Each structure stands twice: as C-alpha cells, then as structure tokens.
Amino acid sequence: MNFKHANAICYSGYREGQNPRTGIYPSYGEVKEDLLILSKNWHFLRLYDCGPHAELVLDVIRQEGLDFKVMLGVDMGAEMSNPNCPWGAYFSDELLAANKQANHQEIDRLIALATKYADSVFSVSVGNEASVEWTDHMVSVESLVAHVRRIKSAIAQPVTFCENYVPWTEKLAPLVAELDFISIHTYPAWEYQSIETALQYTKQNYDSVANHYPDKTVVITEAGWTTASNGRGIDPWNASQELQAIYYQQLLEWTTKEKILTFVFEAFDEPWKGSADPLEPEKHWGLFKEDRTPKTVMAELYAELLPEPLVTVE
C-alpha cells in the first residue's frame, strides 16, 4: 500500500483552559482558525479519538471545503493492568470491564465517523501506544486483533495501529498480519539522543520495523522535538526551539527524499497535558505556541502570524 506523499501533522486543538478530560472543547471558530493556518503547509492530519473535537474537525473540513485527508484514531482505555508503567497502571476489575465497554463504544463512533466523512477520512487507527511496555492503557494483542477485524468488516478505509517502534518486530507480529499498514513513533529526545545523533537514531528506528516487514508499508505517525522541559525525561538543555527547527528540517529532507509519509508531532502546544509545571515537556511539542504564533521552525513560512515588533519613540 502506497500513499501520496505530502506534509502531514498531528492535530489536537485544545487551548488554555480547554481539556478533553473535563469536556471543555475548542469551538467551531477556533478549529476553523487552526485548520486555515495548517492548510497553508499540510495536507494530512492525524486525530487521536472519535469524540466531539474530532467530529467538529471533520465537520469544519467539510463545511469550509478544506483539502485535508485525515487519519482518524480511537482513544483506548486500559483493558489490563500494567506493572511496568512508571507512573502506575493498576486498575480494578470493575474499571477494566468498564474500559472494555467504552472501547467498544469508541470503535462504534470510529465506524460511524469514518462512514459519514468518508470523503475526508483516508485511514483509521485502532489505538495509540496501547501495547508498549510502559503504557498506562495496555490492551492485549488479541484484543487489538479483534478490534481491527471488527473495524475492517464495517468500513472500507485502510486500518493501522500507532505505536512506538519497539513492539512491532516481536510482540505485534500477529497484529501486523491484520493491518493494512504499520504506523510507528520515534522520539530521539525521549531516548537521550542529542541533535547530532537524532536523525540517524530515527532512521534506525524506522529501518528496524521496515526491514522486518519488507512487504508492509510503514509510515511514521509521530516524530518531533519538544521546545521546553523541566527535566522530566528530557534534560532542559536538550529542549529548545532551535533544536526543534534543526530536527524538523532534517526529518523532512529524509522522509521527503524516501517518500515516507510522516506525521510531525505536533501542530500546537497543548497546555492541558502533563503536570501543572509550565515547563512539562508534554506541553511543548507544537510547531506553534498555544496562542498560535509560530515557533522558530515556522517563523519564516508564517511570518504574518508573528507579533508586531514594539516601536519605541525617542
């Protein structure tokens, strides 16, 4: 399976004070503003769930006549406890049963949205980082296979699963047989790589999966660089707008040359993520700040969005 090669980006539009966990979502106007910004440079979008925000994004694309193709995902809750999760993932049997039911309902929504917006949804993902050893929303491979089979029986779009590169070559082999293509994540900064080794590390991550499955298309559904860190997982010196710009340019040059569909993580900073610490790295992966002004990596292309310089009168 080969996809048209074009710029691709992960999109989640939550601004200051908005949070999917509390049910406070961006408005139609805010999503429209975001998509008009992104339409200047990107053709593919990745969405992470099938909730109100995702449905609104698809509606804005249709109502505004925007030329986006969307990978639609499901937000999987844990179907099993995971003692290997560093921040804790022990759940009661009652909660796990409730999560399984919620996952079933989320897939119902995926099928409904992929059918309703078939003109925009070019592929779907059965989940996100639900099998890697450190995840807090672990789902068994057997369950993922069952979910994929159910989805494929209901819709025509290709089906994938988005995951860290590590589990693909062994644990997820039974799932690969069910998927139309493989989607991997690669984050050199999370794995203590400097900018000098980052791109080569990403290439190694990609090749470890692509070479293992030479007959399967492999796309990158997350790759990026955070611009701030409080030291949790990433040293502060290894997080900056300058480093993000370097990695982005290197990544695009390589993936464009090799025609690897690559979703950059991510469009806009998301202040709701992670801890209350404003320097939490989870909050700062955007190519644009939360106020929609461009970071260094996008400053030239989006100069019109930069604030006007202050003029002093002597």
Domains and CATH numbers, the chain: 8-305 (3.20.20.80)
* DSSP per-residue codes, the chain: -------EEE-----TT-BGGGTB---HHHHHHHHHHHTTT-SEEE---SSHHHHHHHHHHHHTT---EEEE---PPPSS--TT-TT-----HHHHHHHHHHHHHHHHHHHHHHHHTTTTEEEEEEEES-SSTT-SS---HHHHHHHHHHHHTT--S-EEEEEESGGGGTTTHHHHTT-SSEEEEE-GGGGT--HHHHHHHHHHHHHHHHTT-TTS-EEEEEE---S--SSSSS-GGG--HHHHHHHHHHHHHHHHHHT--EEES-SB--TTSSSS-TT-GGG---SB-TTS-B-GGGTTTTGGGSPPPP----
| Alpha-carbon span 29 to 50, nearest angstrom | 19
Confidence of residue 314 (pLDDT cuts 50, 70, 90): low
CA 240 from chain centre, in angstroms, equals 20
Q: Map tokens 């709701």 to a residue.
A: 272
Percent of the chain with pLDDT over 90: 95
Task: Write the pLDDT tens digit of every residue in 21-36.
Answer: 999 999 999 999 999 9
Does residue 310 surpass a pLDDT of 60?
no
Contact between 27 and 63 under an 8 Å Cβ cutoff? The reply is no
Confidence of residue 313 (pLDDT cuts 50, 70, 90): low
Contact between 47 and 71 under an 8 Å Cβ cutoff? The reply is yes
Task: Write the pLDDT tens digit of every residue in 226-249.
Answer: 999 999 999 999 999 999 999 999
Summarize the confidence of residues 178-193 as an average pLDDT.
98
Summarize the confidence of residues 187-203 as an average pLDDT.
98
Q: Is omega for the bond preceding 266 within 30 degrees of 0, making it cis?
A: yes
- State the pLDDT at residue 308: 76
- State the pLDDT at residue 258: 97
Summarize the confidence of residues 120-149 as an average pLDDT.
98
Which residues, listed in sequence order, are joined to residue 182 by a DSSP beta bridge? 218
Confidence of residue 311 (pLDDT cuts 50, 70, 90): low
Percent of the chain with pLDDT over 70: 98
- State the pLDDT at residue 107: 98
